[in-house]
C-alpha cells in the first residue's frame, strides 16, 4: 500500500457550484491513476455506495474491506481514504450538505435520518450503514445516474428534481436495510406463537404445534428455549395469562367468561393462576 499522506480539506465551493443542490454524484473507478485515494476530509458529507468490485476504506484507526452493495456515510471533520481496489471496482460518492436535509425527509419517519443528517457539530465516526441486496442495486444505480444527468441539466426545476431523486435514493437504501433486518429478525417459532395466540380459547397440545410447524417435539422444545427462553407449555400458559389479565382489566367479564375465552378450566383455575403470578384483586366476581 502506498504511504498514507493527508490531502488538503476538500472545500464545498470546489464541488457545489449551486449551494441549493441536494447532492452531487462523483464516481471512482479502479485504474492505475486512481488505485489509491490519500487520507482527506471535507466540508460536506459523503454517502459512499460500492456499485461493483471491492475496495478498502481507511478511517480512524481501522480499515474495512467493502464489497458490492455496501454503503456508508462520512461527515465533515472525518479523515478517510481508499486503497487496494479490485479490478472493475466502481464506487459512487454522493456529496451533500448534512445540515440541509431535504424537506421531504422532515415529513417521513426515516430510520437513517440520524446517521445521514446528525444534529450538532461533532463528527460521526464513519461506519458501514448496510448493504444493498443484488436485486435492489440496479434501482439504486439508476437513481444515481438520473441525479448525475440532472446535475448537468438546464431544465426548469432542476433543484427540485435533484432533491426528489436524492430522497428516492435514500428511501431505496432504507428499504434495503429494513428488509434485511426484518429477514434477520424473523422468530423461528413465530408460526407456532401465532397459532397459540389464535387458539387460546381451546386446549392446545404439543402435537398440535408439531402438526402446525412440521417439527418434532424435541426440535420445538429446543427452538422455543432459544427464541423465547421457555418451553412451549410455559409459553402457552404465559400467553393465556396475559390475555386473561387484559380481559380482566376491562371489568366487563366475569372470571368464568374470561376463563372460557382463554382456555382455563374455570374461574377457580384462572383465579389461582393469576394469584400465583402476582396479579392482585383476582377473586372471582359474583357470577351472573
The tens digit of pLDDT for each residue in 145-166 reads: 998 888 778 888 877 888 888 8
Q: What pLDDT, on a 0 to 100 scale, did the predictor assign at position 286? A: 41
**Residue located via cell numbers 432542476:** 158
Task: Write the burial class of residue 255 (CB in 10 Å: 0-12 exposed, 13-18 middle, 19+ buried).
Answer: buried
The answer to whether the CB of 86 falls within 8 A of the CB of 59 is no
Domains of the chain from N-terminus onward? 12-184 (2.60.120.280), 190-276 (1.10.10.60)
Strongest mean pLDDT among 3-12, 20-29, 149-158, 214-223: 214-223
Q: What are phi and psi of 119, to 5 degrees?
A: -85, 155
Give the rounded percent of residues in the chain with a pLDDT score beyond 70. 79
Would you list the DSSP string of 117-176? S-SSSSPPPPEEEEE--TTTHHHHHHHHHHHHHHHT--STTHHHHHHHHHHHHHHHHHHH
The tens digit of pLDDT for each residue in 166-185 reads: 888 988 888 777 655 555 45
To 10 degrees, what angle do helices 217-228 and 190-198 make? Answer: 90
Q: What pLDDT, on a 0 to 100 scale, did the predictor assign at position 67? A: 92
Q: How far is CA 103 from CA 59, 73, 148, 163, in A?
A: 31, 20, 21, 9
The tens digit of pLDDT for each residue in 192-229 reads: 988 898 898 889 999 999 998 899 999 999 999 888 88
Higher-scoring residue by pLDDT: 123, 195:
195
The region of weakest confidence among 50-54, 107-111, 232-236 is 107-111
Give dist(CA 227, CA 189) in Å, integer: 7
The tens digit of pLDDT for each residue in 131-147 reads: 888 888 999 999 999 98
Q: What pLDDT, on a 0 to 100 scale, did the predictor assign at position 38? A: 74
Q: What is the pTM of this model?
A: 0.58
Amino acid at each position: 500500500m502506498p504511504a498514507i499522506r493527508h490531502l488538503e480539506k476538500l472545500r464545498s465551493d470546489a464541488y457545489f457550484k449551486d449551494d441549493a443542490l441536494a447532492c452531487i454524484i462523483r464516481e471512482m473507478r479502479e485504474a492505475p491513476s486512481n488505485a489509491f485515494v490519500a487520507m482527506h476530509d471535507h466540508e460536506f458529507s459523503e454517502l459512499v455506495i460500492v456499485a461493483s468490485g471491492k475496495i478498502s476504506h481507511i478511517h480512524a484507526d481501522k480499515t474495512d474491506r467493502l464489497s458490492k452493495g455496501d454503503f456508508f456515510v462520512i461527515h465533515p471533520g472525518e479523515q478517510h481514504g481508499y486503497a487496494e481496489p479490485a479490478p472493475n471496482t466502481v464506487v459512487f460518492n454522493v456529496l451533500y450538505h448534512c445540515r440541509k436535509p431535504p424537506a421531504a425527509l422532515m415529513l417521513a419517519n426515516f430510520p437513517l435520518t440520524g446517521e445521514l443528517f446528525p444534529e450538532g457539530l461533532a463528527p460521526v465516526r464513519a461506519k458501514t450503514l448496510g448493504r444493498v441486496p443484488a436485486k435492489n442495486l440496479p434501482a439504486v444505480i439508476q437513481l444515481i445516474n438520473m441525479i448525475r444527468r440532472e446535475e448537468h441539466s438546464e431544465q426548469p426545476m432542476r433543484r427540485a428534481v435533484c432533491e426528489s431523486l436524492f430522497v428516492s435514493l435514500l428511501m431505496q437504501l432504507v428499504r434495503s436495510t429494513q428488509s434485511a433486518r426484518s429477514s434477520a429478525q424473523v422468530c423461528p417459532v413465530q408460526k407456532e406463537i401465532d397459532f397459540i395466540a389464535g387458539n387460546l380459547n381451546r386446549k392446545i397440545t404439543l402435537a398440535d404445534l408439531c402438526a402446525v410447524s412440521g417439527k418434532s417435539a424435541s426440535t420445538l422444545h429446543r427452538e422455543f428455549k432459544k427464541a423465547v427462553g421457555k418451553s412451549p407449555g410455559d409459553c402457552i400458559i404465559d400467553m393465556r395469562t396475559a390475555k386473561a389479565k387484559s380481559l380482566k382489566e376491562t371489568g366487563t367479564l366475569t372470571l368464568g367468561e374470561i376463563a372460557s375465552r382463554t382456555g382455563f378450566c374455570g374461574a377457580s383455575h384462572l383465579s389461582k393462576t393469576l394469584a400465583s403470578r402476582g396479579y392482585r384483586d383476582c377473586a372471582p366476581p359474583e357470577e351472573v
